[in-house]
Amino acid sequence: MDYQKILEDIELEIKPMLGDGKVADYIPVLSSIDPNQFAMSITLFDGTQYNIGASQKLFSIQSISKVFTYTLALKFYADKFYGRVGHEPSGDPFNSLVQLEYENGVPRNPFINAGAINVTDALISYYHSSESTYKEIIEFIRSIADEKEIYMDKAVALSEMEHGYRNISLASLMKSFDNLDNSVLDVVQTYFNHCSIEMNTQMLSRSMLYLANHGFDPVTNKAYISPSQAKRINAVMLTCGHYDASGDFAYNVGLPGKSGVGGGIVAIVPAKMALSVWSPGLNAQGNSLAGTKALELFTTKTGLSIF
Ligand code: GLN
């Protein structure tokens, strides 16, 4: 298949949509980003990449980081983790407080904010401090992306903390139900730190190969997690990766994927490749509008969906 040509066709088709979405202005530092940007990358199992658009431009990975933190939590806690955080779709917005109250402080899944904050808390307990936790998370990301030059954008982390009322509320609510071990502010700051890591679509598509290949990096042969853990993460990406638009993403794209409010999306084609797309204009559920469409065009043109 001529992947480069397919990417070029996709770029042409989504160009008219680029101004349609709305950037994530609830994080003030992200509000000034030009929504008319687009990038897409594919990485095959031998490491070959195909790219289109601004695929070297760094952006805030935001909730895509939840895939990496959940990977670490499953690796160290395995099934013991279930009980603290579930694996059912929430059907609610990513930052909703409502369900958490009537479900006694146990988040539905690790990809809504409450779940990801809880995962970060579990990692802090495992690694003993917020500093060592952040260090382990970023080292893990550098390893799976096979790229040393990956850093946090401190201005984004600061901006998130200054306006982090909702996330602080989610953490406080979990603490009140005795489902958070560490200090609310420590946990939320560490969560914001990993959300503020910057990557581009080339790095992100490379970083997802381990999930397309049963937990093993097909290029370096490193084993990160077991095949059954990889299966579980992919299942949660498919059912919960796009919050209250997860059904829509499965319906239109048909791949396990995860979005972030920075406008990035990652997705995997099992046993074949990993993809990443970026366009900062978001739809009503906080997922990249043109990015989602680009992935839909990809699976339609190639037939490479899991269904
Ligand atoms: N850091 C963002 C937040 O907590 C992540 C949300 C997202 O990407 N959906 O609101």
Where does residue 198 rank: exposed (0-12), middle (13-18), buried (19+ CB within 10 A)? Answer: middle
What is the band of 81 on the pLDDT scale with cuts at 50, 70, 90? confident
DSSP strand E in the chain: where? 39-44, 49-53, 59-60, 151-152, 197-199, 257-259, 264-269, 273-278
Closest CA to 196 of 161, 235, 147, 145: 161
What is the model's pLDDT at position 125?
A: 97
Atom of ligand 1 nearest to the CA of 195: 1
What is the band of 80 on the pLDDT scale with cuts at 50, 70, 90? confident
Model confidence over 36-58: pLDDT tens digits? 999 999 999 999 999 999 999 99
Most informative mutation of 59, 94, 193 for ligand 1 (most atoms within 8 A of CB):
94
- CA 4 / ligand 1 centre spacing (Å): 31
Residue 269: DSSP 8-state? E
* Ligand 1 contact, 294 CB (< 6 A): no
Mean per-residue pLDDT, 114-126: 98
* Ligand 1 contact, 63 CB (< 6 A): yes
* Ligand 1 contact, 114 CB (< 6 A): no
* Ligand 1 contact, 244 CB (< 6 A): no
d(CA 99, CA 107): 8
Q: Which of the residue ranges 27-31, 227-231, 247-251 would you say has the lowest mean pLDDT? A: 27-31
d(CA 49, CA 206): 8
The average confidence (pLDDT) of the chain is: 97
* Ligand 1 contact, 285 CB (< 6 A): no
- CA 213 / ligand 1 centre spacing (Å): 27
* Ligand 1 contact, 123 CB (< 6 A): no
pLDDT over 90 at 216, yes or no: yes
Reading the block at residue 93, the tokens are 């917005």
Model confidence over 223-248: pLDDT tens digits? 999 999 999 999 999 999 999 999 99
The CA–CA distances, whole Å, from 261 to 37, 56, 287, 295 equal 14, 18, 6, 17
- CA 305 / ligand 1 centre spacing (Å): 27
- CA 306 / ligand 1 centre spacing (Å): 27
d(CA 180, CA 117): 9
Model confidence over 91-116: pLDDT tens digits? 999 999 999 999 999 999 999 999 99
- CA 257 / ligand 1 centre spacing (Å): 16
What is the band of 30 on the pLDDT scale with cuts at 50, 70, 90? very high
What is the model's pLDDT at position 82?
A: 86
Full-model pTM: 0.97
